Structure 1
Amino acid sequence: MTAIEAVRPDSPATGIVSAAAMSSTELLEQLGTDIGAGLSSGEVARRQARWGLNAVSSHRARLLLVLWHQVRSPLLALLLAAAFVSFFLGERSDALVISVIVALSVGLGAVNEYRAEKAAAGLHDQIHHQTVVIRDGRPSQVDVTDLVPGDILDLRLGDIVAADLRLLEVTGLSCDESVLTGESLPVDKTIDTVPAHTALAELSGCALMGTVVNAGSGRGLVVATGARTEFGKIAAGLNTHPLDTEFQVGLRKFSMLLVYVAGALTTSIFVTNMVLHKPVMDALLFSLAIAVGITPQLLPAVVSSSLAAGSRRMSRRKVLVKRLVCIEDLGNVDVLFTDKTGTLTEGHIDFTRAIPAADADPDSVLRWGLLCTEHSGEPGDIVGGNPLDQALWNAPEVKAQQSALASYTRLGVLPFDHQRNMVSVLVRDSAGRSTLITKGAPETVLQRCIEVPAAAREALAAEFAAGNRVVAVAARPARDQQPPTTRDEHDLRLVGLLVFLDPPKTDAAAALRRLATLGISVKVVTGDNPAVASKVCRDLGLGKGVLTGAEVDALDDAALALAIPATTVFARISPAAKARIVRVQRLSGGAVAFLGDGVNDALALHAADVGISVDSATDVAKDAADVILLEKNLDVLADGVGEGRRIFANTIKYVLMGTSSNFGNMFSAAGASVFLSFLPMLPSQILVNNLLYDTSQLAIPTDQVDEEQLRRPSHWDIGFIRRFMIFFGPLSSVFDFLTFAVMLGIFHAGPMEFRTGWFVESLATQTLVIFAIRTRRIPFFRSRPSVALLLAAFGVVAIGAVLPATPLAHTLGFSPLPGLYFAALAAMVVGYLVLIEIGKRIFYRMAAVTVTPRRRRYSTSRSLRRRAARFSTAATRSASVAAYT
């Protein structure tokens, strides 16, 4: 058997080490690939049927795993154990009721969390990565999951290698392989064969899935896909938990607060009941029920429902999130760094004219510019690549250049990179003369020219002042027939300037004003010329402060932190400087977002609290991002920010409700158990009360949010939640004790009737108080709840009132209540809501709540953990690895 089998239905896939030991000719023959035409569409379909998708893993909603998340609560386990003991001690009805209630609670939570997981899976299915392959004799863009062994794949700067490749052609190609080897320095690539026993890190003739093209370009033959790649083998053995977001950290801190409160209450109640010589089993069950009662048991379900509903709304608004919890982080943003092209400008770049220098003419400037591209196809046939080159090749003037272009032969290319900001090409004309052509950012090209006419400098300044994008073209005769290197880019003569138009978006100014109303400061970080970026920003009404890359590099972090607030435009900024600006701003407090779509944005996307990219971005940018915009539009981003804040606001409503009313009820239960000769409420009744109450709160995600809550970001404040619980909990207990007095003093209730009366009152007050707590305004008059919340709240109160008159009453330990009780109940509910409204005004006046800026120390481990997590969680697409650091 050969080292590499032909791709047949009964043959295994090749390995990269074996492929590295074979010549390109042998590989092409073994895999049945034509180097010029690639695979045919029919052959691709056959191989896809055999090998499946080129994917390492997929995001799937797993019902059993979701169910396990719900049942692993220690409190639920204790309740089930207590129910089990009760059953064997003869209290079978109590055991059955408790078991049914726990099952219903778990079922409700599982259904809602599963729906959220399904929503997350749907979002992953909408995120795609494209790559350029040769099929049917021409280049085409395909989804990376469609790659098969035998495909010929083009590699360009910033691409994430989508499969394991044996390299066929390279031009200054180097790859960042840190994702696999841990080495931070890029690895130069060749087309040489190496022995089959060579270590993975030494396979210079191969490119491995998940690595990133750091410089140059190349072409390779796919020899392994999906889980059969080296990356796939590593990812399959990882079980890395994604890095927690600020939202998840807040939830965890809140949960710990509840653990402390529940522990203190249950312990004290159990000890008190034992001291009063009450039955041990009753005291144990009552204490456990108190613990469950004070815990917002359906908080995960409410959060999941909010996030799932929010993700669906955001998807309709063309915003996709990789992880649902990132929605809330998006709402926390108060500083946005963004690039200019396609965000503030139309993004549809058009070539407008060529400006000659010295003795040149416009046609020759255009011709040299067309020759100096990494693309070597026909006009209109560019797939991917630099957008300026695409605009140049798609210009109407190109057709007249065809005969002239055909007379030149390309001898070598020095690809574009973000350090040089140039591309150089060596060509030979029909007369045998060789010429080195260099094209790129005017500042860098002009530095390499012997002399620059004053008229050219004036023309360049005028174009920059008009806000146009300009590329300089220079050339010189060349004697060496070898591919150019950076040492050859000298002694050039300016040929002329190529001018491109990318006008500001008509709706960008309105979008910027909308972001300002949301409390978000927008700053432009671009590699473009300062004059061009400033002109666009002035036209859109942004500030005037400008810093260049050189000026940023000259500042230390402390000085840069002081300069950022007064700066609107950061121009000619390198990838490392972008990330540094973001990092310094994060240290100043607040949440920072970065919006970018290029390989030079990957570092900054990693450094930001929320990385935002677009569906048309480079793969490395999309992988580094947390949020994907299906439309590169600041208005779409504003929609996402508003949705994130709406979700957080609704989540906090449930938290405040659960902590205050539950704490109040359980505090009342603890107090009543001291002076009553019987338990004030049976454990099963407490659980039914908690289940009905939580069910009504599942409608909170549909609720409307007051406008002032959307104007600025909000963050978890455990101290505020604790103060809210301590302030409003006792207020609810006031009416609980009033109910006790009514039941004992007026109705002379026995144990069963007492429990029934308190059950109905506590359910009504803690459910209806949502209408006061959900807003700081006057409820109903200045802030109206959603219809779903209205129906859910009043529906649950009605169920609680009717339940004592149903056949379930005896099983649950209820008895019918006199009609006069409901009149007293109505008066107590109204009095309670009035008292809460008064207390609300006092509390917020006293609290003077302010959002304290979050000062955090940035660490590169954050990016490393995010990348590691994506091995297993975001590898929905085979190339989904953010490794460009």
Structure 2
Amino acid sequence: MDFLRLKESFVHAVLGRPMLRHFRRLSILDLRGDADVDKTVSASMARHLAEAAMAEPAVLLERLHTHPDGLSEAAADALRAVVGTNEVEHEKPRPWWQHLWHCYVDPFNLLLTVLATISFFTEDIKATVVISIMVTLSTSIRFFQEAKSNKAADKLKAMVRNTATVLRCDVAGAASLHAGVSRSLELPIKQLVPGDIVVLSAGDMIPADLRVLHAKDLFVSQAAMTGESLPVEKFVDQRKCDAINPLDFDNICFMGTNVVSGSATAVVVTTGERTYFGDLAQRITAADRRPTAFQADVNRVSWLLIRFMLVMSPVVFFINGFTKGDWLEAFLFAMAVAVGLTPEMLPMIVTSTLAKGALILSRQKIIIKRLDAVQNFGAMDILCTDKTGTLTQDRIFLERHTDVHGAENAEVLEYAYLNSYYQTGLKNLLDVAVLDYQHVHHALKPAENYRKVDEVPFDFQRRRMTVVVAEHEHEDLRLDHHLLICKGAIEEIVSVCTHFRHGELIEPLTPAAHARIIQVTSDLNDDGLRVVGVAIKEMPPDKEVYGVADECGLTLVGYIAFLDPPKESAAPALKALKEHGVAVKVLTGDNPLVAAKICREVGLPVAGMLLGADVEAMHDAALLEAAEKTTVFAKLSPSHKERVVRVLHEAGHVVGFMGDGINDAPALRAADIGISVDSAVDIAKEAADIILLEKSLMVLEAGVLEGRKTFANMLKYIKMTASSNFGNVFSVLIASAFLPFLPMLPMQLLVQNLLYDISQIGIPFDHVDEESIKSPQRWNPGSLGYFMIHFGPVSSIFDIATFLLLWHVFGANGATPESQTLFQSGWFIEGLLSQTLIVHMIRTRRLPFLQSRASWQLMLMSVAVMLVGLGIVMGPFADHFKLTALPLTYFPWLLAILLAYMLLVQVMKGYFARRYGWQ
């Protein structure tokens, strides 16, 4: 089955084109490293990017008919009408006829089509019609199920979307296109046009191919394009004059990559299909993406059943050919058996069940980006999560601002405010808390007295950020210094300090002073406060450009401490996840004392703790052993998080990771199921498989349970099909070997199989027993063989009992054509009713109908199919199917056989569950 196309169809239908674009972008970029994919772009593309890289900014802006203040709204709209939206052609929705074609093309439908064609040329028109109905039924249900999901697109596609910060020029008059005031807007990526001026900061996705106009410590991750693990710094000027490969250009940023740190302003050079990504997509989209574990397991089941059919059908053909002598009849019968063994409804059941699960999750504020993530949700047995916003309220408050010894100090707050106010990178929750504190308390307005000189943006290696300011000059005063203000994690701040301020004194940072600092900050951490250090340094006024090298010889002035209270819902959510077999591990870059205190407050036992330094020092085997027993991982870098997730995955766990920051992106991609939130940075949403519209573990619990229900319903069909097919073939082989006539005509067998398929349409809507969702559910295709061996022969026992009943009690021994028809009619009804009942027997471990009832949809389809089957045999159309009405005395015997069959299946269920487990 083409699961990539299946998933894409659903993602477009349910989530709309924006989410489909990002799903496909990740799919294409994943293929970027494949050796057999042509990685070159067209000469015209390379030449166009080279011209943009080498041109002077003013010349390039003029060429693009734009301005440093951006395009006007009218100019952008007019240009978009000419060049189109910023989308790759591959990302646009398929027309309905193409969607219908993809719903048809799968191994089962193609196999049935071949069999229908053979039936047509052998003049078995009735078989051709029945097989065609099966193909039409499977294709149309799948098509309409996905089309139905499309109705939700308009409501859902606006829920999760990536945007870009674009400058727009409010035109003052028609005489001057750019005579206006520039304002920044958050626009959907697809609305960008060449000439748009884009503002970039840490965490942003690059929305198109851009030429950098202004940059400050801009580092871009091009790993998806080039495979480089380290970010690449981008500059305003192209430094390598001999660069030929567009990826080597220093001042070009490519669609699909992301900003790791720093800030920049850039102009859009190309959009949509004309981007490097768009050009590359035309070569890569034809390649097959490696299947996920879920896809691989479903494919294994599919091909197991196909191979079973390919082996057994020739056996049936030769047995009937040799014993009956009519090779044409034997061939048609073998073809009917092949159709009966083909699980043609599997694609529809998988699609419908996953689609239904995703739609239900969308109503619970969970948006699915990858369709098979629904099943992975249910299989998850370890959830790794950050602390902020999941265990805590995600509403950080500035609680204290103190000097080095812990006494309240307003000057420390002033420095922190200046740092947060003037930094232009990614403003995190700590910066927001500092700015909000000033707004609420009206404590400071220091920005009125200062101007910004420069900044050194935050990154996750330094874990600090710096702003350089200067006081405004007065008429009677020439200022002789700049003030460098550095704010960040305590250890990282102290590491670049040589002195500390005590009152009005500046003292050396001695070991004793360092110990005092550790004691004060530890006491604050013990109170559940997150502590950030603030340090300063006076710089000469003639320096205008600053870098990381200037972060040395600083003076520590104090701390700002933040309170992030635990969520009230965290404790019950953690308890519920534990009851459902999901272990929760906290992976945070925060202080270990703060993390441990929060975990204790929400009822998460801290069984062990590892720091980033510990992770760094361990090899994978040691890390795995420690990670299995550890609850809290603190002071982690992005690579540490990714490594913890990876080793847990390689140990056989299904690992979920929940995060919303730039530092979470590697772990999100490494996890079996990446979970982010709508408020996350772009790169985190891009890397995730699931987007939560509410950052809560309670929402996750609902998703886990729905994923398990989805899996359970898919597994029902697999079990029913496998056991029924095996039992039917076993019965056919016995009947073919010992009966002097065919136990059922080919057309009768096809009609019976068609009715049986229809009875299972309600499976995606079925209820699931509570015990089936209490623990993680995973695919285990290897156990399917055991299930077939145990339950298949059970149905054959009662098929044989029916054979003996019809032969000895009702005289259907084949002596006359009428007795053959009676035999075939009796087995037709018994086979149809027993196969329909097995749906209800195998759908639950409990006693069916009494302890566990099917959904009304499944009950309705079952009753309808049984009535139709009885009507075919007992009604006026029996002759059309070469059947005959059964004597009424047959039905008490039939009832006894069916009751005995159900009883034995129930006994076998208990035995099988005790030995192998039910799931």
What is the TM-score when the length of structure 1 is the normalising length? Answer: 0.89
Comparing 335-344 with 768-777, which one deviates more in the overlay? 768-777
> 1:247 & 1:619 partners in 2: Cα distance?
27
Are the counterparts in 2 of residues 660 and 729 from structure 1 also a CA contact under 8 Å?
Answer: yes
Q: Residues 323-722 of structure 1 correspond to what in structure 2 (within 5 A)?
A: 323-357=370-404, 362-373=409-420, 375=422, 385-397=427-439, 400=442, 404-430=446-472, 431-452=479-500, 457-479=518-540, 481-544=543-606, 545-722=608-785
Indicate yes or no: 2:188 matched with 1:143: yes
Structure 1 residue 322 displacement after superposition = 1.5
- One-letter code aligned to 2:246: L
> C-alpha deviations, 1:689-746, integer Å up to 9, x for none?
1111111111111111111111111222233221121111111112112222222222
Counterpart of 2:250 in structure 1 is: 204
> 2:730 & 2:59 partners in 1: Cα distance?
79
> 2:312 & 2:46 partners in 1: Cα distance?
62
> 1:231 & 1:718 partners in 2: Cα distance?
38
> 2:266 & 2:187 partners in 1: Cα distance?
15
> 1:109 & 1:359 partners in 2: Cα distance?
66
Counterpart of 1:31 in structure 2 is: 64
Comparing 390-399 with 202-211, which one deviates more in the overlay? 390-399
Corresponding residue SS for 1:704: coil
The share of aligned pairs that are identical, in percent, is 41
Counterpart of 1:866 in structure 2 is: none
- One-letter code aligned to 1:81: T
Indicate yes or no: 2:351 matched with 1:304: yes
Indicate yes or no: 2:119 matched with 1:83: yes
Are the counterparts in 2 of residues 469 and 501 from structure 1 also a CA contact under 8 Å?
Answer: yes
Counterpart of 2:865 in structure 1 is: 796
> C-alpha deviations, 1:142-179, integer Å up to 9, x for none?
22222222222122223221111111111111222233
- One-letter code aligned to 2:547: T
Structure 1 residue 121 displacement after superposition = 10
Unmatched runs of 5 consecutive residues or more in structure 2 = 1-44, 170-181, 473-478, 503-512, 813-818
Counterpart of 1:810 in structure 2 is: 879
- Structure 1 residues 165 and 77 mapped into 2: Cα distance closer, same or farther (>3 Å)? same
- Structure 1 residues 297 and 578 mapped into 2: Cα distance closer, same or farther (>3 Å)? same
> 2:585 & 2:662 partners in 1: Cα distance?
19
Q: Residues 277-292 of structure 1 correspond to what in structure 2 (within 5 A)?
A: 277-292=324-339
> C-alpha deviations, 1:158-208, integer Å up to 9, x for none?
322111111111111122223334444433222125779843133212222
Picking from 820, 824, 847, the partner of 2:889 is 820
Corresponding residue SS for 2:791: helix
Picking from 811, 829, 843, the partner of 1:748 is 811
> 1:741 & 1:252 partners in 2: Cα distance?
39
Counterpart of 1:879 in structure 2 is: none
- Structure 1 residues 101 and 425 mapped into 2: Cα distance closer, same or farther (>3 Å)? closer
Structure 1 residue 126 displacement after superposition = 4.6
> C-alpha deviations, 1:556-590, integer Å up to 9, x for none?
22222222233211111011111111122223222
> 1:285 & 1:319 partners in 2: Cα distance?
50
Structure 1 residue 649 displacement after superposition = 1.0
Structure 1 residue 531 displacement after superposition = 0.9
> C-alpha deviations, 1:564-621, integer Å up to 9, x for none?
2332111110111111111222232221111111111111112212111111112211
Are the counterparts in 2 of residues 152 and 220 from structure 1 also a CA contact under 8 Å?
Answer: yes
- One-letter code aligned to 2:911: I
> C-alpha deviations, 1:437-483, integer Å up to 9, x for none?
11111111122222346675544223211112222111011126142
Comparing 304-313 with 287-296, which one deviates more in the overlay? 287-296
Structure 1 residue 677 displacement after superposition = 2.3
- One-letter code aligned to 2:259: V
Counterpart of 2:851 in structure 1 is: 782
- One-letter code aligned to 2:545: P
> C-alpha deviations, 1:250-293, integer Å up to 9, x for none?
21221232133222321211111221253222211211211221
Counterpart of 1:771 in structure 2 is: 840
- Structure 1 residues 738 and 51 mapped into 2: Cα distance closer, same or farther (>3 Å)? same
Are the counterparts in 1 of residues 104 and 139 from structure 2 also a CA contact under 8 Å?
Answer: no
Counterpart of 2:11 in structure 1 is: none
Unmatched runs of 5 consecutive residues or more in structure 1 = 1-11, 378-382, 852-885
Comparing 362-371 with 166-175, which one deviates more in the overlay? 362-371
Corresponding residue SS for 2:497: coil
Q: Residues 863-874 of structure 1 correspond to what in structure 2 (within 5 A)?
A: none
Corresponding residue SS for 2:559: strand
Corresponding residue SS for 2:216: strand
Picking from 49, 53, 66, the partner of 1:16 is 49
> C-alpha deviations, 1:18-45, integer Å up to 9, x for none?
222322222333434342x433333333
> 2:616 & 2:724 partners in 1: Cα distance?
55
- Structure 1 residues 95 and 465 mapped into 2: Cα distance closer, same or farther (>3 Å)? closer
Structure 1 residue 518 displacement after superposition = 0.9
Determine which structure has greater relative contact order: mean sequence separation of CA pairs < 8 Å that are 6+ residues apart, divided by chain length: 1
- Structure 1 residues 658 and 124 mapped into 2: Cα distance closer, same or farther (>3 Å)? farther
Indicate yes or no: 2:74 matched with 1:42: yes
Corresponding residue SS for 2:199: strand
> C-alpha deviations, 1:334-374, integer Å up to 9, x for none?
11110011111111223334223489974422222232248
Counterpart of 2:102 in structure 1 is: 66
- One-letter code aligned to 1:661: S
What is the TM-score when the length of structure 2 is the normalising length? Answer: 0.85
- Structure 1 residues 172 and 360 mapped into 2: Cα distance closer, same or farther (>3 Å)? farther
> C-alpha deviations, 1:74-104, integer Å up to 9, x for none?
53133123212222xxx44444444444444
Query: What is the number of equivalent residue pairs in this alignment?
Result: 830
Counterpart of 1:855 in structure 2 is: none
Comparing 416-425 with 187-196, which one deviates more in the overlay? 187-196
- Structure 1 residues 559 and 591 mapped into 2: Cα distance closer, same or farther (>3 Å)? same
- Structure 1 residues 105 and 172 mapped into 2: Cα distance closer, same or farther (>3 Å)? closer
Counterpart of 1:132 in structure 2 is: 165
Counterpart of 2:22 in structure 1 is: none
Counterpart of 1:730 in structure 2 is: 793
Comparing 679-688 with 22-31, which one deviates more in the overlay? 22-31
> 1:794 & 1:98 partners in 2: Cα distance?
23
- One-letter code aligned to 1:415: P
Comparing 463-472 with 354-363, which one deviates more in the overlay? 354-363
Counterpart of 2:827 in structure 1 is: 758
Counterpart of 2:38 in structure 1 is: none
- Structure 1 residues 101 and 529 mapped into 2: Cα distance closer, same or farther (>3 Å)? closer
> 1:509 & 1:789 partners in 2: Cα distance?
38
Picking from 828, 849, 865, the partner of 2:917 is 849
Corresponding residue SS for 2:594: helix
Structure 1 residue 71 displacement after superposition = 7.1
Structure 1 residue 122 displacement after superposition = 8.3
- Structure 1 residues 109 and 752 mapped into 2: Cα distance closer, same or farther (>3 Å)? farther
- One-letter code aligned to 1:129: N
Structure 1 residue 123 displacement after superposition = 6.5
> 1:293 & 1:342 partners in 2: Cα distance?
53
Corresponding residue SS for 2:543: coil
> C-alpha deviations, 1:744-799, integer Å up to 9, x for none?
22222322222122111111011012222111122233222212111111211111
Are the counterparts in 2 of residues 20 and 166 from structure 1 also a CA contact under 8 Å?
Answer: yes
Corresponding residue SS for 1:53: coil
Comparing 325-334 with 455-464, which one deviates more in the overlay? 455-464
